[in-house]
A and B are shown apart, each in its own frame.
Chain A
Amino acid sequence: NAGVTQTPKFQVLKTGQSMTLQCAQDMNHNSMYWYRQDPGMGLRLIYYSASEGTTDKGEVPNGYNVSRLNKREFSLRLESAAPSQTSVYFCASSFEDRAGNTIYFGEGSWLTVV
């Protein structure tokens, strides 16, 4: 059971370049997310998708776009990378039961913009 898989794990970009982070989950979850993690800032939500075909902005959406390709896949695109986008990016998916909303994270993608 792979859970949440995201690629690439490491990437170095030059300022102005574009790239797409790929994410797929095999847990049949409806909800998917992209977070970024920066030192001292915790996990900040970039975009989320409650279901296939829907996406919504989170706390820090500027400079990013997303696509919920199908129920399994949720990609994050940087159209024109900036040094401020140097971060660790986590894709996640979740289900909600009687207890609450349990989020499962991928292993992370380390992005450096020079």
Chain B
Amino acid sequence: QQQVKQSPQSLIVQKGGISIINCAYENTAFDYFPWYQQFPGKGPALLIAIRPDVSEKKEGRFTISFNKSAKQFSLHIMDSQPGDSATYFCAASRRGSTLGRLYFGRGTQLTVWP
């Protein structure tokens, strides 16, 4: 059973536009929601993360919006740039669990056209 569902699978955005990627989860015990960014030929790297005690977190052009009641969270990339073209993974975990392991979504391949 997939713990975290991510959509869309692929996304094409024009330079300067807003990219939005959505994720949903079922396990209400999850309390840590990171986003990872992966460039071709590289390993994923932490981009931004949020805890459920806040509804929004912003770092530069990247914003996570979190809706606890709906069990959904999303990544917004403002003023999207060609350099943002990458695969994005959302994830969820429960802090303090045996391993704190992350459950990943299946990824969204973002292409930003110049």
Contacts and interface: CB of A to CB of B under 8 A. Distances in A.
Interface size class of B (residues with CB under 8 A): 20 to 34
B13 interface: no
A108 B45 contact: no
A92 B98 CA distance: 17
Q: Which secondary structure dominates where chain B touches chain A?
A: loop
Interface of B: 6, 9, 31-32, 34, 36, 41-46, 49, 51, 89, 93, 95-96, 98-102, 104-107
28 contacts: A31-B100, A33-B101, A40-B106, A41-B106, A42-B107, A43-B44, A43-B89, A43-B104, A43-B107, A48-B101, A50-B98, A56-B99, A90-B43, A92-B43, A96-B95, A96-B96, A99-B32, A99-B51, A100-B34, A100-B51, A100-B93, A101-B32, A101-B100, A101-B102, A105-B44, A105-B45, A107-B43, A108-B41
Interface of A: 4, 31, 33, 40-43, 45, 48, 50, 56, 58, 90, 92, 94, 96, 99-108
